[in-house]
Amino acid sequence: MAEMSVGEKGWGDLLAEGRLPKFALICLGVWLNAADALVTATIMPSVGLDLGGYGYFSWSVAGFLVGAILAGASAGRISELFGLRAATVLSGLLTAAGCVMSAAAPDIFTFLAGRLVQGLGTGWISGFSMVAIALLFPERHLARVFATVSGVWGVATLLGPLVGGLYATGHDWRGVFWLFAVQSAAFSAAALWLLRGAQSRREGAGIPWLQLAVLTLGVGAIAFADLAGDAAVSLGLVAAGLVVLVLVLRIDARARVRLLPREAAKLGAVVGAGYASMFLMTAASMGFAIYGPPILQTLRGYSPLWAGYVVAVESLAWTVAAFLVADVSQRWDAIWVRAGAACLIASVIVLPWALADQPLAWVLIGASLLGAAFGLSWSSMSMRVMAALPDEDRAIGTSAITAVRQTGAAAGAALAGAAANLVGFSHGVSAETARAASVSVFLIAIPLALAGAWTAFRLTGAAARNV
């Protein structure tokens, strides 16, 4: 076979032959899921002032994540049942409806119900976007597509809270949900046009109701753990939730209609090792995003804006690293996966040492290492998982990538919360509790990072021989 020219493998070829609008649609879908997940981080004080319910603040994120995880896990089967085009259009309309519920909410419970609906809608959007990547783009373009998706995710983690903050500063928190409602409706209209002929529908496809019901219990336990004020209760709920998630894998392996690919539970296989790496690495990263800003404000006297800029270095490094490796040849992808795992371990060692009182440069280095961990590894891990999927599992396997990431985020947030509460963070942010939390939330992340590195090496080592 003649070797492809540079032009055939470059960005120009990626966006040729009508692929540019479809590529933009996928990026918009990823943006909606990632940005909407974090937009409430800066508007909840304003929401509480208008609607009351300060005690329910955490539910704005927890409810969203529960909906997004369940939707992402079922997206592959839904696309097979209804077809990718119809399912994608409906997911955008559902997201728009959830945004309208929150924007027009007369009370806190309507607002939170809207957040749950938004989670379901954007979870399906993101899952269907992953299915679209598998259907619409040739293999030679997957590195660039996944690198861009990873970059969009990194940018959204920065801009989501910023957009919310701008609306909150203008005393119009409802406006941010009207903005997302318009974007979601536009996404549906574009999908109706752009996804004509893109079908993943399979005759006889069904919904794995039992696995989804058990998954709901597991994810619910983890979500409640993030809300529990007692550290022991939080750790117990996380442990119970993880046990239930393992039970889902066992049930699914024996089911006629599966929720996940056949080898999802096998750490010796590419798919199982890939999912495990994504889950563990994401879980290990959550402490800095959640507790970095209040620690920096308390111990260094930074304003919320400057603390946010410091944490945003992670997102910037993520995006830059993702694009730097987008053009790498396939034989290098194992190196980038392992380099990402190494960066993660380095970051959870540097950050607890530097966050409280070392020069700011060390904090920025730790944040950059954390972002680079995902920018370097994510597209290569996703490509390896996708390449290992048989045709019958292509839809459910690719859509599950987002659900695995968000399940790891929920578990990591709950574990970081338990670690912070163990040192008294839940009783008030003082210099003493902030200093203790600057260490504890990363100590609990180190075993997760090490386990994530081990599975990443399996993904690129022995497991790779199963491709």
128-187 per-position pLDDT tens digit: 988 888 888 877 777 778 878 877 877 887 777 777 777 777 778 899 999 999 999 999
Greater confidence (16 vs 156) lies with: 156
pLDDT recorded at residue 274: 94
| 127 in Cβ contact with 75 (< 8 Å) | yes
pLDDT recorded at residue 280: 96
- pTM of the shown model: 0.83
Other CB atoms closer than 10 Å to residue 3's CB: what's the count?
Answer: 6
| Confidence at 416, pLDDT banded by 50, 70, 90 | confident
Write down the residue that tokens 């409810």 correspond to.
63
The class that CATH gives domain 266-467 is mainly alpha
Tell whether the model's pLDDT for residue 368 goes beyond 80: yes
pLDDT recorded at residue 2: 39
pLDDT digits (tens, 9 = 90+) for 193-246: 888 766 655 555 577 888 889 998 998 888 888 677 677 888 898 899 999 999
Greater confidence (182 vs 73) lies with: 182
Tell whether the model's pLDDT for residue 1 goes beyond 50: no
| Confidence at 289, pLDDT banded by 50, 70, 90 | confident
pLDDT recorded at residue 6: 41
Domain ranges of the chain: 18-140+153-206, 266-467
Assign domain 18-140+153-206 to its CATH architecture.
Up-down Bundle (1.20)
Tell whether the model's pLDDT for residue 5 goes beyond 50: no
Q: Do domains 18-140+153-206 and 266-467 have the same CATH topology?
A: yes
